[in-house]
Amino acid sequence: MEQSAPPPYRRIVEEIRRRIDAGELAPDDRVPSTRRITREWGVAMATATKVLTTLRQEGVVRAVPGVGTVVSDPQAGQPEQPQTRARKPARGAPAPERAPREPDGGGGLNRDRIVSAAVKVADAEGLRGLSMRRVAAEFGMSSMALYRHVANKDELVLLMADAAFADVTLPDPAPDGWRERMEAGARLQWELYQRHPWLAQYLSLTRPQPMPRAMALVEWTMARVEGMDPVTLIHMALTLLGFVLSTAAGLEDDLEAEQETGMDQEQWMAAMDPVFEGILTSGSYPMYAGMAGIDDDPVNLGTLFDFGLERLLDGMEVLVERRAGGDATVRTPRYGTGRTP
């Protein structure tokens, strides 16, 4: 009997697999988006969506919040399967048990193991999905077993954040120029928040927590800026930190939206295409309409970070150079409360 041809989505899946096997697409490279798939292969949006869904289910690609769908790295271990990224449990729902039950306090449970498990939960489900009960379920224990090592959830999250910053590796040798050092420090933070999307929303400029490791990274970032009074220098540091945090906050938002809707960013944008198309063709939004016909998505959290960081450093460069040149017109500004009178 003649074998039937594979469905269109399967043929596209195999072609993308071939490109990956041939090295045309390397680990962490973005794979064709749903829009590009529809254009390149002439298929419907539903087919393109099924292609990316199949590739994720087979562990070939993974969704990175704020970036898109990229090739999985086989050297990083087994790719995470969709079912392991559980949705946030409903309030009052029983926490799932993932390990054989053992007596509370047994099995070598300690603070480091609890923090490590909590970080994994928050990475996958966000801070809203984190609770003492949820973390205890990772060990097959009751939440009371955790309270022998951690006072409460607030302390646990603080320990998680501190542990996350402990993973930052400073470049050696370090950049000598002040601008290069500030850019490197900002990118180290950005990469950290991509690994831990919940972290940016936890940190606060107005109510900072005592986190020496995070403070050390900021100190390192600003170490080559000279000629600034202490107040201006700390304003520069916190302005840079605030920019990175505000941009990275979208990573957690995207993760939670994906869990709630079942669609990653590309799938959601594809679903919204017909609605946006009607708005853009109305003629009332010429700036937005100018993006029509541009392949893929040239605007995402990654491009916004790159663009914003460069412009922010451009502005600080003007200040640094004027101070270095002894410009008499440059004075120490009077810093107010930032509140509307």
Task: Please say if the pLDDT value at position 103 is more than 60.
Answer: no
Task: Please say if the pLDDT value at position 88 is more than 50.
Answer: no
Cα angle value 260/263/264 (rounded, 5°): 110
Range in 89-93, 250-254, 322-326 the model is least confident about? 89-93
Task: Please say if the pLDDT value at position 170 is more than 90.
Answer: yes
Tokens encoding 172: 């050696």
184: left (phi over 0), alpha (psi -120 to 50) or beta: alpha
220-253 per-position pLDDT tens digit: 999 999 989 999 999 999 999 999 999 998 887 7
pTM over 0.75: no
- 8 A C-beta contact, residue 270 and residue 36: no
- pLDDT bucket at 339, cuts 50 / 70 / 90: very low
Tokens encoding 295: 């392949």
Q: Which helix (H) or strand (E) holds 115?
A: helix 111-125
Distance in Å from the first CA to the final CA of the chain: 82
What's the pLDDT at 86? Answer: 35
**160 SS3 class:** helix
Higher pLDDT, 253 or 198: 198
171-195 per-position pLDDT tens digit: 989 998 999 999 999 999 999 999 9
- 8 A C-beta contact, residue 188 and residue 199: no
- 8 A C-beta contact, residue 251 and residue 193: yes
| Largest Cα–Cα separation, the chain | 89
